[in-house]
């Protein structure tokens, strides 16, 4: 009786061990490092060149954290929006499908000191954009302007009536609003 009871116990334990071995591996944590080549927070992706010169686009978790070990920014509160091209980072990621970055540790902010990139000369200041009109099309509600700060840019207007009376060659100031990530002209000042 004792032998049969021991055999049953061993069989139960053995079947339990085999069942545990058949379970899929749970997602773990991986670590890597590299230089940020590009970052797109709208798509929640970052392109990183690792220590072996391999480039890869990594998905970023919405709740990913950022820490600055570089002394230049060590006492700064940090967020994903602070990450810039050229920064050298160590990062941890959840293994699995897909591998997703959970944490960044910025070791070197790069040559620019981590400063924001140079402003785009065609970006809109708060007061509007001034320049000389080069083309107007009220049918599709678009206006092209040679900007005072340099560069030429085409803007979409809220509607064709916003551009009524505007002619090529006129100096104007365009008042814009951001709509769905695009600057839309809501008023033209002459």
Asked if residue 156 and residue 100 are part of one domain, the reply reads no
Alpha-carbon gap, residue 91 to 39, rounded angstroms: 14
Asked if residue 97 and residue 168 are part of one domain, the reply reads no
Rounded to two decimals, what is the model's pTM? 0.46
Residue 3 lies in a domain: no
End of a domain among 58, 76, 108? 108
Asked if residue 141 and residue 178 are part of one domain, the reply reads yes
DSSP 125: P
Asked if residue 71 and residue 142 are part of one domain, the reply reads no
Residues facing residue 128 across a β-bridge: none
Residue 113 lies in a domain: no
Asked if residue 98 and residue 43 are part of one domain, the reply reads yes
Asked if residue 97 and residue 47 are part of one domain, the reply reads yes
Residue 122 lies in a domain: no
Element (H, E) at 4: helix 2-22
Q: Read off the CATH number of the domain in which 40 is found.
A: 2.40.50.320
Asked if residue 146 and residue 78 are part of one domain, the reply reads no
Residue 45 lies in a domain: yes
How many domains is the chain built from?
2
pLDDT recorded at residue 179: 81
Residue 144 lies in a domain: yes
Range(s) of the domain holding residue 97: 29-108
- Which pLDDT tens digits describe the chain residue by residue (190 residues)? 556 666 666 655 556 555 555 444 455 899 999 999 999 988 899 999 988 889 999 999 999 999 888 766 655 677 888 888 888 999 999 988 789 999 999 888 776 544 444 444 445 555 578 899 999 998 899 999 988 877 888 889 989 899 999 999 999 999 988 887 788 899 999 8
Residues 33 and 89: beta-carbon distance below 8 Å: yes
Alpha-carbon gap, residue 91 to 77, rounded angstroms: 18
Q: 132-144 b/e with 16+ CB inside 10 Å = b?
A: ebeebebeebbbb
Residue 174 lies in a domain: yes
Residue 10 lies in a domain: no
pLDDT recorded at residue 126: 54
Q: Read off the CATH number of the domain in which 140 is found.
A: 2.40.50.140
Asked if residue 133 and residue 97 are part of one domain, the reply reads no
pLDDT recorded at residue 119: 45
DSSP 42: T
The HSE-up count of residue 84 (CA atoms within 13 Å, CB side) is 18
Asked if residue 148 and residue 101 are part of one domain, the reply reads no
- Strand ranges, E, within 69-158: 88-94, 100-108, 129-137, 142-147, 152-157
Asked if residue 99 and residue 34 are part of one domain, the reply reads yes
Residue 124 lies in a domain: no
Residue tagged 């005072």 (tokens)? 148
| Cis peptide bond prior to 93, omega within 30° of 0 | no
DSSP 170: -
Alpha-carbon gap, residue 17 to 27, rounded angstroms: 20
Asked if residue 38 and residue 83 are part of one domain, the reply reads yes
């Amino acid at each position: 009786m004792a032998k049969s009871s021991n055999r049953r116990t061993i069989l139960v334990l053995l079947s339990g061990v085999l069942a545990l071995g058949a379970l899929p591996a749970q997602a773990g944590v991986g670590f890597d490092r590299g230089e940020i080549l590009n970052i797109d927070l709208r798509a929640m992706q970052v392109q990183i060149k690792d220590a072996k010169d391999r480039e890869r686009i990594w998905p970023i978790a919405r709740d990913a954290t950022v820490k600055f070990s570089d002394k230049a920014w060590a006492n700064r509160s940090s967020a994903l929006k602070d990450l810039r091209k050229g920064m050298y980072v160590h990062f941890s990621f959840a293994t699995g499908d897909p591998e997703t970055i959970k944490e960044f540790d910025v070791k070197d902010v790069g040559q620019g000191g981590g400063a924001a990139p140079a402003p785009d000369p065609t970006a809109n200041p708060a007061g509007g954009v001034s320049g000389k009109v080069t083309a107007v099309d009220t049918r599709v509600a678009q206006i092209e302007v040679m900007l005072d700060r340099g560069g030429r840019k085409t803007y979409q207007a809220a509607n064709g009536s916003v551009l009524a009376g505007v002619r090529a060659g006129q100096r104007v100031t365009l008042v814009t609003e951001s709509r769905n990530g695009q600057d839309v002209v809501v008023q033209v000042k002459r």
